[in-house]
Structure 1
Amino acid sequence: MKGLFLVEPVVALYAFSSFLIYPLLQQYVYRRLWEELTNTTYPISDNTSRCTESGGNRSSHHEEVQRATSLFSLYTELFSTIPSLVVTLLLVAYSDRGGRKITIIMPLIGTLIYNLAFLTVSYFELNVYLLIGSSLLSSLFGGLGTFLGGCFAYIADLCEDGRQKTLRMAGLDMMIGLLAGVASISTGYFLRAAGFNWPIMTSVLCQCLILLYAIFILEETVKKTPANAVTLNESSQNSALKQMIYGFCKMFTTSSRRCRTILVLLMLLFVSFSFAYVGGISLMTLYELNKPLCWTEILIGYGSALSTTVFLVSFVGVFAFTHCGVPQLVIVLIGILSVASGMILLAFTKTTLLMFIVRVPMLLSIMPFPVLRSMMSKIISKSEQGALFACLSFLDSLTNNVSTAVFNSIYAATVSWYPGFIFLLSAGLCAIPLFIVGVLGVIGVDVEAEVKNPEEDGVEDENDNSPLIN
C-alpha cells in the first residue's frame, strides 16, 4: 500500500482526542478534590450556574478546592516537564537523520498510556494523585512539543515556497482549533449523559486509530541523510545526543551575524509571547468553575469551543494578511495586541454573557505562532529543520510548562482576594514581545526580502554575499 504525505489527519484526530480529555481532566480533579476536602457530594445542577445553590459554607469550599486544584496542576507540570523536554530535544533533532515519524509516533504512545491511566483511575476511583505519576510516565515518550515539532518539521520538508509553508503551518493550527472545538462542545454533553468513563474511552480509541495511521499509512519524508549534512564522523554509530549538539551548532554557525541576531530575536519573541498567552489561557476553565460564574460542564464545553475558534479565525487572518502583502511582523503585532486586550477584559469579567463576549477580542491571538515558525524556518537550511524545530519545541514545551506552573502558583496565592489578577499579569507580560517586535522593526527586518534558504546557493558557510549583511 502506498503511503500518504498527509500529516493533517494525525493532527486533527490528535486534537480531537486531546481536547476531549483536557476539559474532563480539570473537572474530574476538581470534583474529586471537592469530595475529599469538603466531605460532601459535588453540587450538580441543570442551571447555568451552581452559585445559586451555594451558601456561605460553599463559598469557602470553592476557594479551598480552587487552591488545591491549582496546586495539583502545578505538581503535574513540575514532574513531567524535564523528561518531556529532554525527549523532545533528542527526538526532534534526531529526526533530521532518523526520520520525522519517530517524533510523531512516540508522543502518541505516551498519550495513549496517559489516557489509559486516566480511564483506570476514573473507573476504579483510585487515588487521583496517581494521575501525576502517569503524567511522568507519559512524558518519557515526549509530549505535545515533540509531536508538534515533528509535524511542523514534516511540513517544512514538503514545502519549498515560503508562502506555502506559512499557510500550511497556519493550517495545522486551524485544524487543531476546529477539531478541538468539536471535542469541547461534545465534552459537556458527553459528561452529563455518560459520566467520565465513556468520553475517556472515546479518546483512547481515537489514539489507537491515529497510531495505526502514523505507523502504517503516513509516509516518511526523510529518506536518507541530506547530501550537504556533514557528520561529526563517518561512522553510523553517532549518538542522537552528538547529532543534536552538532545540528544546533551548525544552525547558528553557518549563517551570518545578522541572520543569527534575527533568529535569536525571533526565538525570544516566540518564547515571551507563548509564556504570556499560555499562562493566562491555562486558567480559564478554573476561573469559570469559581464564583461568581460557577459554570456547569455544559457551559464549560461551549466556552472551550468558542475559545478554539481562534484557531480558525487566526488562520483566516494569516491567509488574508499574507495575501494582501501585510508584513509578517505586523501580523505578529496584531496577534499580541489581540491577546493583551482580551486578557485585560477577562480580568474584570463577572457574568456568563461577558465571559463569552470577552473571547471575541482574542480571535486573532494564534496568528503569531505559525508566522514566527515560518520566519525562522526560512532562515535555516533544509538539513537543519529538525534541529530548528527541536529547539522551538524544547523552548515551547519549557515555556508552556513553566508558565503554567508559575501562573497556577500565583493563582493559588491570589484567588482569595482577586481571581482576575492572573489575567492582568498575562496582559502586562505582553509588553515584552511588543518590545521585541519594536526592536525588529527598528533594525528593519523584512524576512520575505532578506532571508533566504542557504541551500539555494549551495550553503554559503561564510555568508559573504548574503543579503542579510547588506
Structure 2
Amino acid sequence: MLCPGRFQTGFALLRRIEPIVVMEQLGSTLFETALQMVVRDRCANATYPDVSRDDSQQKAITNFYMNYNLITKLTPIIPALLLARLSDRGWRRAPVVAPLTGYLLSRLFLLLVVLLRLPLEVMFGATAVYGLSGGFSAYWAGVMTLASLDSTPTDRSKVMMSSRYTEKLQVMMIVELLYGIAGLVGSLVSGHLFQLYTPNLAQGTILLIVSTVLHLLCLIQSIVLLQVKQVHKREPDESSHLLSRASSSSLAVEAPAAVNVVNVVLLFAAAILYDFAVGGAAEILTAFVLKAPLSWSATQVGYGNAAGFGIFLTSFLGVILFRRWASDATLILIGMMSFAVGIYWMSFATATWIFYLARSLTLFALIPMPTIRSLLSQQVPLSLYGTILTCLQVALIFAGLAYIPAFTKIYQGTLDWFPGFVFTLSSAFSVLAMIPISITGCRSAQRRQYERIQGD
C-alpha cells in the first residue's frame, strides 16, 4: 500500500516547477564553469601590441565576455515581453519552455565548439539564440508565476514567524532557495567534472554532456509533465522575488491610490546605481580570478562560483534575522553596505583566502534588489504593479548595456597599475546607491508619523 502512495507523491512532485528549477540550475552552473575555462584556454595565446602575455590574455577574455554579455542583455527584451503576453493570455508554459529550448541549444553550441574545435566566436551566435528564446528574464518570470499559482492567496499573504519559518515557507521562497542550493552544489562539482577526460574526449566534454542532458530533461519535463494550475482571473498572479516576499512591511501596507513619483524616482535611481555596481564587478570577476597571482584552476573556479551562490542562502537568512527590527529601507542599506565593504576588499585579492574573505563580507548582497521591488510595489496602485516592475527591468537592461563596456575598458586600462580598481569603483557606486534609499527611508518614516498623528 505504501508503494503506490509514494509513486503518486513522486509523480506529483515531478509535475511541479521545482524539479525543473533544480535541474536547470545544476546544468547552468556546469555550463558557466565550462565556458569560463574554454574561454581561458582559447585566449591563452592572444597577443596585443605593447602588452604583456598575461595582460593580453585578460584583454581577450574580457573582450569576449563584453560582447557575449551585451548580446545576452540586448536580445531577450522583445521576446521576453512577447512571452509575458502569451503567459497572461493563458499560455503559462510558454515563458518556461521557450527559454529552456534556448538554454539547451546554447549548451549544444559550446559542446560542438569543444568537440569540433570551432571558433570561440560561435558562442556569440549561441547566446543570441538563447536571448531570442526569451533568456533568463522570461524564464524566471515564468517560473515565479507558476510557483505562485501553486499556492493559495491566503498562503501567499502569510507573514512568516522566524521561529517557525520552516513550517510557513511559501512556495516561491522554496523555489529561490532550491535555485541557490542547486547553484551551490553544481558549482562545487563542476570543476571536478571538467577535469574528467579520456584520450578521445577533450577536457570539459563530459561536463558539457552532463549539462546538456540536464537541460534536455528539463525541456522534456516542462513539455510533458509540468502541470499548470488554473486560477480565476480575479485572483492576481504574483511573480516577485523571495526576499520581497519575506519583507514584513510590504505584506502589511495597502497599495496607494496614486503614484508616489518622488519615491519611485529615488528607488529607480538606487536600483540602477546598485545594479551598475554589482553587475560591473561580476562582469570583471570572471576574468580576474584567472589572472596571476590567483590563476585559478577549473576546480577553484567551481568553488568560487559556489561561494557566490552561497550568498542566496545568507541573504535569505539575513532577511529572516533582521526584518523583525528593520524597515525595508534599512534592510536595503544593510545589503548595500555588505556588498560595498566586501567588493572593496576584493580590490586587494592577491591570494585565494583574501578572495573568500571578501566574498564572506558580501553575505547580504542579494537583499537590496528584490526589496527595492517590494518598496516600489508600495508606491503605485495595484493596477500598475506589473508596469512599474517591467519599467524597472528595462531600465536595468539599459544600465547593463552601459556598465558592461565601461567596466571592461576601465579594467583593461588599469591592468598594469591596479587590476582591482574596478572593484573599488564598484564599491563607490554601491555607496552612492545608499543615498536615494536613505532619502526614501526618511520620507517613509515621516509619512508613517503623519498618518499616525492623523489617525489619533
- For the superposition of Structure 1 and Structure 2, which TM-score range results when normalised by the shorter chain? 0.7 to 0.9
Out of 157, 160, 171, the residue aligned to residue 161 of structure 1 is 157
The answer as to whether partners of 1:343 and 1:423 remain within 8 angstroms in 2 is yes
Matches within 5 A, 1:220-235: 220-221=228-229, 223=231, 225-226=233-234
**Counterparts of 2:290 and 2:12, CA distance in 1:** 49
Instruction: Specify whether residues 128 and 434 from structure 1 end up closer, same or farther in structure 2 by C-alpha distance, changes over 3 A only.
Output: same
**Counterparts of 2:386 and 2:93, CA distance in 1:** 12
Q: Shift of residue 409 of structure 1?
A: 2.7
Structure 2 equivalent of residue 193 of structure 1: 196
Which letter maps to 2:179? I
Q: Which structure has the higher relative contact order (CA within 8 Å, separation 6+)?
A: 1
Out of 209, 223, 240, the residue aligned to residue 215 of structure 1 is 223
Instruction: Specify whether residues 398 and 423 from structure 1 end up closer, same or farther in structure 2 by C-alpha distance, changes over 3 A only.
Output: same
Out of 61, 77, 88, the residue aligned to residue 85 of structure 1 is 77
The answer as to whether partners of 1:341 and 1:427 remain within 8 angstroms in 2 is yes
Structure 2 equivalent of residue 269 of structure 1: 270
Matches within 5 A, 1:13-92: 13-35=23-45, 37=47, 60-92=52-84
Instruction: Specify whether residues 402 and 198 from structure 1 end up closer, same or farther in structure 2 by C-alpha distance, changes over 3 A only.
Output: farther
The answer as to whether partners of 1:166 and 1:374 remain within 8 angstroms in 2 is no
Q: Shift of residue 114 of structure 1?
A: 0.6
Q: Shift of residue 202 of structure 1?
A: 0.9
Structure 2 equivalent of residue 372 of structure 1: 372
Q: Shift of residue 282 of structure 1?
A: 2.8
Structure 2 equivalent of residue 302 of structure 1: 303
Q: TM-score, normalised by structure 2?
A: 0.79
Which letter maps to 1:208? L
**Counterparts of 2:223 and 2:146, CA distance in 1:** 15
**Counterparts of 1:31 and 1:435, CA distance in 2:** 42
Instruction: Specify whether residues 371 and 228 from structure 1 end up closer, same or farther in structure 2 by C-alpha distance, changes over 3 A only.
Output: closer
Matches within 5 A, 1:260-339: 260-322=261-323, 324-339=324-339
Instruction: Specify whether residues 150 and 228 from structure 1 end up closer, same or farther in structure 2 by C-alpha distance, changes over 3 A only.
Output: closer
The answer as to whether partners of 1:77 and 1:404 remain within 8 angstroms in 2 is yes
Q: Shift of residue 146 of structure 1?
A: 1.7
Q: Shift of residue 222 of structure 1?
A: 5.8
**Counterparts of 1:93 and 1:166, CA distance in 2:** 29
Q: Shift of residue 93 of structure 1?
A: 4.5
**Counterparts of 1:271 and 1:222, CA distance in 2:** 36
Which letter maps to 1:139? G
**Counterparts of 2:144 and 2:264, CA distance in 1:** 17
Instruction: Specify whether residues 358 and 431 from structure 1 end up closer, same or farther in structure 2 by C-alpha distance, changes over 3 A only.
Output: closer
Q: Shift of residue 277 of structure 1?
A: 1.0
Instruction: Specify whether residues 187 and 17 from structure 1 end up closer, same or farther in structure 2 by C-alpha distance, changes over 3 A only.
Output: same
Q: Shift of residue 203 of structure 1?
A: 1.0
What root-mean-square deviation, in Å, do the aligned CA atoms of Structure 1 and Structure 2 show?
Answer: 3.4
Helix, strand or coil for the counterpart of 1:364? Answer: coil
Instruction: Specify whether residues 400 and 169 from structure 1 end up closer, same or farther in structure 2 by C-alpha distance, changes over 3 A only.
Output: farther
Q: Quick check: 1:206 aligned with 2:214?
A: yes
Q: Quick check: 1:142 aligned with 2:134?
A: yes
Structure 2 equivalent of residue 248 of structure 1: none
**Counterparts of 1:168 and 1:263, CA distance in 2:** 28
Structure 1 equivalent of residue 244 of structure 2: none
Instruction: Specify whether residues 172 and 391 from structure 1 end up closer, same or farther in structure 2 by C-alpha distance, changes over 3 A only.
Output: farther
Structure 2 equivalent of residue 41 of structure 1: none
**Counterparts of 1:281 and 1:36, CA distance in 2:** 23
Unaligned 5+ segments in structure 1 are 39-56, 230-253, 451-465
**Counterparts of 2:14 and 2:320, CA distance in 1:** 25
Higher alpha-carbon deviation: 119-128 or 178-187:
178-187
Per-residue deviation, residues 442-461 of structure 1 (Å, max 9, x unmatched): 211699x89xxxxxxxxxxx
Q: TM-score, normalised by structure 1?
A: 0.77
Q: Quick check: 1:123 aligned with 2:115?
A: yes
**Counterparts of 1:155 and 1:100, CA distance in 2:** 11
Higher alpha-carbon deviation: 372-381 or 181-190:
372-381
**Counterparts of 1:388 and 1:105, CA distance in 2:** 26
Structure 2 equivalent of residue 96 of structure 1: 88
Helix, strand or coil for the counterpart of 2:295? Answer: coil
The answer as to whether partners of 2:276 and 2:399 remain within 8 angstroms in 1 is yes
Q: Shift of residue 321 of structure 1?
A: 2.1
The answer as to whether partners of 2:196 and 2:204 remain within 8 angstroms in 1 is no
Which letter maps to 1:369? M
Which letter maps to 2:58? Q
Instruction: Specify whether residues 154 and 369 from structure 1 end up closer, same or farther in structure 2 by C-alpha distance, changes over 3 A only.
Output: farther
Identity, % of aligned positions: 24
Structure 1 equivalent of residue 355 of structure 2: 355
